[in-house]
Amino acid sequence: MSKLQGKIALITGAASGIGRASALLFAREGAAVAVVDRDLPGAEAVAAEITGAGGKAVALQADVSKSADVQRMIAATIDGFGRLDILFSNAGIMTPGILHLVGEDEWDRVIGINLTAAFLACKYALPEMMKHGGVILATASVAGLEGRTAHASYCASKAGLITMIKSVAMDYAQYGIRANTLCPGGVQTNISNATLAGLSDAVKERLGRWTEEAVPMARIGQPEELANAALFLCCDDSSYVTGTAMVVDGGSIAGHVIPFVE
């Protein structure tokens, strides 16, 4: 039997990257998927790919940092599919910047999309899940587990997300709800591409060297690799896993490189 047969999943940031790969994989594993994104045409394209392959999906447009949009996307999912079993709060942004140069509006935007959005999604999904159990997954980052240069706002948002979801895991286990975070390292997504686009060739070259030297697997990840981890955390294979932050990063935070050997 498919790992998510008969389940109803809502995935935010699902028009591209990890969200898109997860929506396609979850659908192949039997879930009906609400494909949510600010980019409605992108969400519709993913939903069409799912339905074209014989799956069930609906595309929904939402700004996940806005309460009204979040309430609407959850209500539409329940109205359309009858229930909600899996909430994958995946949408996020990353804007590098030294802290004293980060504008207050930009700080608010990063916190709003990376942290407040997950709070809102949980707030309005939990009452439904408390009726029958379910799974909550949020995309955090290895940047929520350690400091990163020029990423103070991003690190803060992801660290807050990790500990918030741990609290959700503790408070709602009694209702049969599991809650975890997925912590990617570098991944080939539209977010990383947009970040790289604003950098000089010299900085890009240094980042390439850093990846080769500091990541034991000497490469960045692919969205499908993160989707596989998300599937594990959202299916019964991880039935005894809650409150964890699963790192999927090619070993980038396993330790520090010390050149003792060739």
- Cβ proximity of 125 and 10 under 8 Å: yes
Residue 260 has pLDDT above 80, yes or no: no
What pLDDT is stored for residue 154 in this prediction?
Answer: 97
The domain limits of the chain are: 8-189+222-245
Taking the mean position of all CA atoms in its chain, how far away is CA 32?
18
Residue written as tokens 């069930």?
56
Our CA dihedral for 161, 167, 173, 177, rounded to 10 degrees, sits at -20
β-bridge pairing 134-139 and 177-184: parallel
Our CA dihedral for 134, 10, 116, 76, rounded to 10 degrees, sits at -110
CA angle at residue 31 from 26 to 34, to 5 degrees? 85
Taking the mean position of all CA atoms in its chain, how far away is CA 17?
10
* Whole-angstrom distance, CA of residue 31 vs CA of residue 21: 14
What pLDDT is stored for residue 227 in this prediction?
Answer: 98
Q: Is 240 a catalytic residue?
A: no
Which pLDDT band holds residue 194 (cuts at 50, 70, 90)? low
Which pLDDT tens digit goes with each residue over 4-37?
999 999 999 999 999 999 999 999 999 999 999 9
- Cβ proximity of 14 and 39 under 8 Å: no
CATH of domain 8-189+222-245: 3.40.50.720
How far is it between the farthest Cα atoms of the chain? 60
Residue written as tokens 């591209």?
16
User: 171: how many CB neighbours lie within 10 A of its CB?
Assistant: 12
**Amino acid, single-letter form, for residue 149:** T
What pLDDT is stored for residue 48 in this prediction?
Answer: 98
Half-sphere CA count of 121, side-chain side, radius 13 A:
35
The partner residues of 146 in beta bridges, in order of sequence, read none
- Model's pTM, two decimal places? 0.94
Which pLDDT band holds residue 262 (cuts at 50, 70, 90)? low
Catalytic hit among 124, 154, 175, 240: 154
Q: Among residues of the chain, what percentage have pLDDT more than 90?
A: 87
What pLDDT is stored for residue 192 in this prediction?
Answer: 60
